[in-house]
Amino acid sequence: MGTQVTSWDAAGADRAVAVLKAVADPSRYRLLWALSGQELPVSALAELLGAHVAATSQHLARLRAAGLVTSRREGTRIYYRAAGPQVRELMEGALLVANAVSGTAAAGDERGDPETSAQEQPVAVRAVPARRRPVPEH
């Protein structure tokens, strides 16, 4: 990828985390992937996601606030595009890391490598609503 960062910068780290938070949603990731290849109107992006235009616009607002997309108005339509080639590099980098992590885990399991045992593998966590405990009968 492009520029290398060689020193710690707290403000830079905060900006990087803000970017990662903006991308940390499957819909926003898909939007960025599509917009890194072409400029598209909100209606086409909503269709791509299978979502309402209003929900898509909210995702785009979050991406715009993070500086990842830019927009232009043409009549009543608003067109979006990635803010630059670094956005595509971010998407590709995330995919490479994800593939490397899942590939390493799978290869480690096949070899029975203790470094990648099931205990150390990331686990998907899902929020479960709290249940009421039954009241004991007297």
Those residues whose C-beta lies under 8 Å from the C-beta of residue 119, and which sit 6 or more positions away, are none
Reported confidence tier of residue 130, pLDDT bands at 50, 70, 90: very low
Lowest mean pLDDT among 4-8, 31-35, 110-114: 110-114
Query: What local confidence, expressed as pLDDT, does residue 5 receive?
Result: 60
Tell me which H or E stretch contains 80: strand 77-82
Those residues whose C-beta lies under 8 Å from the C-beta of residue 87, and which sit 6 or more positions away, are 32, 35, 36, 68, 69
Residue 118 has pLDDT above 90, yes or no: no
Say how far apart CA 76 and CA 43 lie, in whole Å: 12
Residue 82 has pLDDT above 60, yes or no: yes
Partners of 72 in the beta sheet? 79
> What are the tens digits of pLDDT across the range 65-81?
999 999 999 999 999 99
- DSSP H helix total and E strand total for the chain: 5, 3
Query: What local confidence, expressed as pLDDT, does residue 106 receive?
Result: 53
Residue 22 has pLDDT above 90, yes or no: yes
Whether this model's pTM surpasses 0.75: no
How much of the chain, in percent, has pLDDT values that exceed 90? 61
Residue 16 has pLDDT above 60, yes or no: yes
| Residue-range domain boundaries for the chain | 10-86
Assigned CATH class of 10-86: mainly alpha
Residue 121 has pLDDT above 90, yes or no: no
Q: Average pLDDT over the chain, rounded to whole?
A: 79
The β-bridge relationship of strands 40-41 and 77-82 is antiparallel
Query: What local confidence, expressed as pLDDT, does residue 102 receive?
Result: 86
Say how far apart CA 61 and CA 68 lie, in whole Å: 10
